[in-house]
Amino acid sequence: MSIDIINLRKQFGNTAILKGISVSFSDHGKYLIKGENGIGKSTLFRAILNQISYLGEINTLGSISYAPEGFNFPPYMTVYKAIKTFSTLTEDIYEFDKKLDELLELFNFKSHKYSLLGSLSKGEKQKVNVIQAYLTPSKTLLLDEPLSGLDISAKEALLNLIKKDDRTVIIISHELTHFKKKDFNILELEDGHLTLISKVH
Amino acid sequence: MDILHSSLKYIKTHLYYLLTKKNVIFLIILNVLCLSYCIYISSIFDGIYELDANRPFYLANFNNNYFFFIKIVYICFIIFINISYFGREYSKYSELFIKNKKTKIVFYITKYISIFLFIYLELFILFFIYFSIIALLPYGKFYISTIGSFIRLYLLGSFYLLLSSILLLIFKTYLASIISLVFYWFSFVYSSYNDVLTESTKILLLFFPFGEGVEISFIYGTLHILLYNLILILLNVLIITLRGET
């Protein structure tokens, strides 16, 4: 198991957001968690990452890389510097420059390698966000609304990368149009409970 | 990657968030203001012979005015930086740093280290301005004991930094951080303008210390403020841990 969650509960004030979630994410599995806005999808990720307090038990095996939604990057960092900084915070990456160039090429983003983050559009910042998470050495990859703001070709590039990736990948999204049912175990978060809807065969 | 290497990376990244355009402009304006004030209080326009003839008077006058001014400026600077750094708009950047319990601890320790480094940088600039002016003036004389005044100013600044960050963590509003500035102001006014300290001023100074005179001495001693700083660090950690959110 990559991540094992047992009876996870979280409430903000008097409002219970997560009401006893128990789920196991297996090694190399690809998961898509869907649900309405504000239902607690990001809260689930933040609990897994120990960013918030919670009740219950979460066991993670190995390191986790993460692409949060709408991340606040420092405006005076270049794309190169930001990706290098955030993807190597806890572990250095072998042949980083080569791997980065390949990804920038794939996302049609090479011309922005030395652009300042403050000068980028929302979609371009999202590319930086997704690339840093993808490059971070980890056993599990968590992506929060990764397709948000990306252009069609970048969305396809990312989904192809995920498909080929050997790690456990967990995505949360409220739009499912671009995800193929056959590639993901689909779970739905509704009323604080997580239910498996369809499984990869 | 070892913890030291990783921590240095965290600190470098924190500094990217700290050295925003707004903060850098504020830093520049503040130091230009401070330099201008130093030139003004140096009495340089009184004439070189006059300054030379009354060296002790002019030196004491310069020192008094300089330390009186930076005690206000430095604490205001710290409260502003604290609001800008621990304020809500920056809270979201923790998301890429914290991925487990260990990285959460490293994140907060390095965040505090980086802000202490930043306020140290400003103290160094203030010291540099002071030293440059003193070196250029005909009556200028640098006493080693002045370094002690700057160290105590740093301790005082650290105290108000930690206090305002606690208030900001608890009340989650910029206004809370200003409260520490208000109390500092009361301590400043009551102890600067009263020759004999009343009981109420002593109580005020017990909880909201103020550095007296050029020496920036504390009525309850340096150990008192050191102890307070330690307690406030622990309280900061406790609040962050209990709150359970980044």
Residue A151, domain member (yes or no)? no
As beta bridge partners, residue B117 has: none
Residue A25, domain member (yes or no)? yes
Q: Is B152 helix (H, G, I), strand (E, B) or coil?
A: helix
Segment holding A170, helix H or strand E: strand A168-173
| Contact between A65 and B97 (Cβ < 8 Å) | no
Q: Is A65 helix (H, G, I), strand (E, B) or coil?
A: strand
Q: How many domains does the structure of chain A reveal?
A: 1
Average pLDDT in chain A: 92
Radius of gyration of chain B (CA): 20
Cβ-based burial of B238 (10 A; exposed 0-12, middle 13-18, buried ≥19): exposed
B128 φ/ψ angles, rounded to the nearest 5 degrees: -60, -45
C-alpha closest to that of B77 among B37, B31, B143: B31
Segment holding B216, helix H or strand E: none
Average pLDDT in chain B: 87
Residue B47: is its pLDDT beyond 90? no
How many other CB atoms sit within 10 Å of the CB of residue A153? 11
The verdict on A63 touching B (C-beta cutoff 8 Å) is yes
Residue A31, domain member (yes or no)? yes
Q: Is A58 helix (H, G, I), strand (E, B) or coil?
A: strand
Q: Is A114 helix (H, G, I), strand (E, B) or coil?
A: coil
CA distances from B203 to A58, B157, B164, B225, B246 (A): 48, 20, 19, 14, 35
Where does the pLDDT of residue A150 fall: very low under 50, low under 70, confident under 90, or very high at 90 and above?
very high
Residue A79, domain member (yes or no)? no
The verdict on A2 touching B (C-beta cutoff 8 Å) is no
CA distances from A44 to A23, A40, A176, B22 (A): 11, 6, 19, 34
For testing contact with chain A, the best of B17, B96, B111 (most A CBs within 10 A): B96
CA distance A90 to A3: 20
User: What ipTM was predicted for this assembly?
Assistant: 0.86
pLDDT of B200 reads 83
| Contact between A21 and A8 (Cβ < 8 Å) | yes
| Partner-chain residue, chosen from A72, A90, A132, that has the shortest CB–CB distance to B93 | A72
Out of A91-105, B83-97, B219-233, least confident range: B83-97
Domain that holds residue A33: 1-63+168-201
Segment holding A176, helix H or strand E: none
CA distance A90 to A137: 9
Out of B156-165, B194-203, B221-230, least confident range: B194-203
Residue A193, domain member (yes or no)? yes
CA quadruple A199, A31, A156, A76: dihedral, nearest 10: 170
How far is the alpha carbon of A53 from chain B, nearest alpha carbon, in Å?
A: 4
Residue A50: is its pLDDT beyond 60? yes
C-alpha closest to that of B236 among B80, B116, B99, B77: B116
Using a CB-CB cut-off of 8 Å, the residues of chain A touching B6 are: 89-90
Q: How many CB pairs under 8 A join A and B?
A: 78
How much is the pTM?
A: 0.85
CA distance B80 to A15: 34
* B13:A50 CB<8 A: no
Residue A19, domain member (yes or no)? yes
Residue A120, domain member (yes or no)? no
How far is the alpha carbon of A73 from chain B, nearest alpha carbon, in Å?
A: 7
A169 φ/ψ angles, rounded to the nearest 5 degrees: -120, 125
Residue B216: is its pLDDT beyond 60? yes
* A90:B92 CB<8 A: no
User: For residue A29, what is the domain's CATH number?
Assistant: 3.40.50.300
For testing contact with chain A, the best of B20, B88, B99, B107 (most A CBs within 10 A): B99
| Contact between A196 and A187 (Cβ < 8 Å) | yes
Residue A101, domain member (yes or no)? no
The fraction of chain A above a pLDDT of 90, given in percent, is 76
Residue with tokens 């006058």, as numbered in its chain: B61
CA distance B171 to B174: 8
Q: How crowded is the C-beta side of A156, counted as CA atoms within 13 Å? A: 4
CA distance B101 to A5: 16
